[in-house]
Chain A
Amino acid sequence: MVFKILTNFTKRIFGLLFKNKREIRLGFYGPPNAGKTSLANRICKDWTGEEIGKVSKMAHETREVQFKEEVEIKYKERSLKFKLVDTPGIATKIDYEDFMKYKMKKKQAQKRAKEATQGVIEAIQWLDDMDAVVVVVDATENPYSQVNITIVGNLVARNIPVLVVANKVDLKKADIKKVESAFPDYEVVGISAKYGKNMDEFYESVFRLANKT
């Protein structure tokens, strides 16, 4: 009896100590409007039936780091638990007048801009807490932006494994080859988070990424 109590106690203590280790913290980083939340939503819906956050055509819809814990992804009879961390888009400029183009009032636009600036800071501060990161880029945009360079560089410097996702491949302008040539040393997966295109290949890559953590 005493032995059983001691064994259970030890199991609980070890369980608590290694709880976070079993759950891989997977961050979603990238410039605004690349589709980070759309992708995180797609994963959450596939495996939990719930979404992580709201999406919008207007940039900086995600202005706070949002996460979903205990997301169990299964692939080829293997299963891994993730904590998905969806971060605000990293930008070097934010102009409230851009939000006013979407018929937003000045005060509301200024408030959104202020929240967006705080979101960028928060996203950067979370970099140190990631086990692995999915860098989401818009496949219709030029991948050689300084924001992308800075994000990937900082991840490499921190020894955090990176998977590059070229999102929006459903669009005619999408150029996955350009994204691949910008990131030749990283695995690049072309997907459409909106339509769930190529998600199997994405999950396969996520498992490979998780093995590097």
Chain B
Amino acid sequence: MSNKKKKGLTLQFMPFSEIAGLDSIGRIKKLLQVVLDNKVVVLQGRLKLREETRLIEDTMIMIGNIKGFKGVELAVITPNSGEQSFGRKFGNNLAKLLTGQENALTIIGPASIVKEMKRDPSKLEVMMR
């Protein structure tokens, strides 16, 4: 019997309730912790707009400080992704975007594992390395 360890991909589902009670820093820290464990996190919901930019900023800081970390691939899918464009989404649902929304899915994966996330716009393709 072979002792060779099988390589696989771990998707970690995270209900929004797991981060709901945390402040912005805590939320980002929790999500990036999963990514640092080389897992793809699937968050039920999405971060606030300012948290999304903060996530990018924190990711950039980590690239310089954590060996082997190259950043993340990130995508957010909303229930009407296929019909909605950036405009209508931002115009009509700005309040939801500012406060975060639970009826969306946020997928964040380490760039060392996930090569690309392609939205087009009704489907999401996740390309692995």
Contacts and interface: CB of A to CB of B under 8 A. Distances in A.
Asked if A and B bind, the verdict is yes
Contacts of B117: 146
A120 B86 contact: no
Q: Is the interface of A mostly helix, strand, loop or mixed?
A: helix
Interface string B82-124: 0001111011001001100000000000010000011111000
Contact of B56 (A114, A145, A150, A186): A150
Most buried by A among B60, B90, B117: B60
B78 to A, nearest CB: 10
A155 B118 CA distance: 23
A117 B87 contact: no
Contacts of A67: none
Contacts of B73: 92-93
A145 B125 CA distance: 12
Given A142-B119, A183-B87, A157 B60 contact: no
A152 B90 CA distance: 8
A184 interface: yes
B24 interface: no
Contacts, number: 99
A18 B59 CA distance: 38
B85 A181 contact: yes
Which 8 pairs of residues, A with B, have the shortest CB-CB distance?
A185-B87, A93-B71, A93-B111, A117-B60, A144-B119, A95-B70, A156-B90, A144-B121
Interface of A: 90-95, 113-114, 117-118, 120-121, 124, 127, 142, 144-150, 152-154, 156-157, 181-186
30 contacts: A92-B56, A92-B71, A92-B73, A92-B111, A93-B70, A95-B70, A114-B64, A117-B61, A118-B64, A120-B56, A121-B57, A121-B60, A121-B61, A144-B121, A149-B86, A150-B56, A152-B86, A153-B49, A153-B52, A154-B49, A156-B90, A156-B91, A157-B50, A182-B121, A183-B87, A184-B88, A185-B85, A185-B87, A185-B91, A186-B87
